[in-house]
A and B are shown apart, each in its own frame.
Chain A
Amino acid sequence: MDVEADVTVIGSGPAGLTAALHAHESGAKNVLLLEREEELGGILKQCIHNGFGLEQFKKDYTGPEYAERLIEDLGKTNVQYFLNTMVLSLSPDKAITAVSPEKGLFHIKSRSVVLAMGCRERPRSSINIPGTRPAGVYTAGVAQRFVNIDGYLPGKQIVILGSGDIGLIMARRLTLEGAQVKGVYEIMDYPGGLKRNIVQCLNDFDIPLYLSHTVTEIQGRERVEGVVVSKVDQKMNPVGGSEQSIPCDTLLLSVGLIPENELSKEAGIELTPITKGPVTTETMETRVPGIFSCGNVSTVFDLVDYVAETGMIAARNAARFAGGDWKKGRNPVEIIPGENVRMLFPQRYSFKDDLILFVRCAKPIEKPVKIELSPVGMRLKRLYARPNEMIRFKVSRDKLKDVTGPIEVSITER
Chain B
Amino acid sequence: MDIEKKHFTCIVCPIGCEIDVELQNGNVVSMEGNKCEKGKEFVLQELEEAMRILTTTVPIKGAKWAMLPVRTDKPVPKRLLSKVIEQLADVELQAPVKMYHVIVKGVAGTDASIVATRNMKKVNQRKDAKKDPISRKEG
Contact = CB atoms under 8 A, between A and B. Distances in A.
Interface of A: 38-39, 45, 48-50, 60, 62-65, 67-68, 135, 147-152, 173, 176-177, 194-196, 198-200, 203-204, 383, 389
Interface in B85-139: 85, 99, 117-119, 129, 138
Interface string B23-49: 000000000000100000000000000
Nearest to A200: B11
Contacts of A200: 11, 52
Interface string B1-27: 000000001111111100000000000
B66 A48 contact: no
Contact of A204 (B12, B13, B78, B129): B78
A200 B10 CA distance: 10
B64 A38 contact: yes
A65 B81 CA distance: 21
A195 B14 contact: yes
B53 A50 contact: yes
For the complex of A and B, the 7 pairs showing the least CB-CB separation, nearest first, are A195-B16, A64-B118, A151-B66, A48-B69, A196-B11, A151-B67, A150-B129
Contacts of A64: 69, 99, 117-118
A136 B14 CA distance: 33
B55 A48 contact: yes
A63 B56 CA distance: 12
Contacts of A176: 54, 56, 81-82, 85
A195 B9 contact: yes
A68 B99 contact: yes
Contacts of B117: 48, 62, 64-65, 68
Interface string B47-91: 000101111110100001111010100000010011001000000
A150 B53 CA distance: 23
Contact of A149 (B13, B52, B67): B67
B35 A48 contact: no
Given A65-B99, A67-B118, A151-B57, A389 B67 contact: no
A176 B53 CA distance: 13
A279 B46 CA distance: 45
Contacts of B138: 135
For the residues of A in contact with B, the DSSP-based class is: helix
Contacts of B99: 64-65, 68
B15 A383 contact: yes
Contacts of A152: 129
Nearest to A135: B138
A39 B138 CA distance: 27
A135 B137 CA distance: 13
Nearest to A198: B9
Contacts of B50: 204
Contacts of B52: 200, 204
B79 to A, nearest CB: 10
A262 B57 CA distance: 34
A281 B123 CA distance: 44
B122 to A, nearest CB: 15
A149 B129 CA distance: 10
Given A50-B53, A64-B99, A196-B9, 17 more contacts: A39-B64, A50-B55, A62-B71, A63-B69, A64-B117, A68-B119, A135-B138, A147-B57, A149-B66, A151-B67, A173-B56, A176-B85, A194-B16, A199-B11, A199-B16, A200-B52, A204-B78
B102 to A, nearest CB: 15
A45 B63 CA distance: 14
A383 B35 contact: yes
A156 to B, nearest CB: 15
A204 B67 CA distance: 25
A150 B65 contact: yes
Contacts of A135: 138
B139 to A, nearest CB: 10
Nearest to B120: A64
B55 A199 contact: no
A149 B85 contact: no
Given A38-B64, A151-B67, A49 B55 contact: yes
Contact of A148 (B57, B78, B119): B57
A258 to B, nearest CB: 23
17 contacts: A39-B64, A45-B118, A48-B117, A62-B71, A64-B117, A68-B119, A147-B67, A148-B67, A150-B129, A151-B66, A151-B129, A176-B85, A177-B56, A195-B9, A195-B16, A200-B11, A389-B14
A311 B52 CA distance: 31
Nearest to A195: B16
B55 A150 contact: no
Given A68-B119, A176-B81, A50 B59 contact: no
Contact of B67 (A38, A49, A150, A383): A150
Contacts of A38: 64
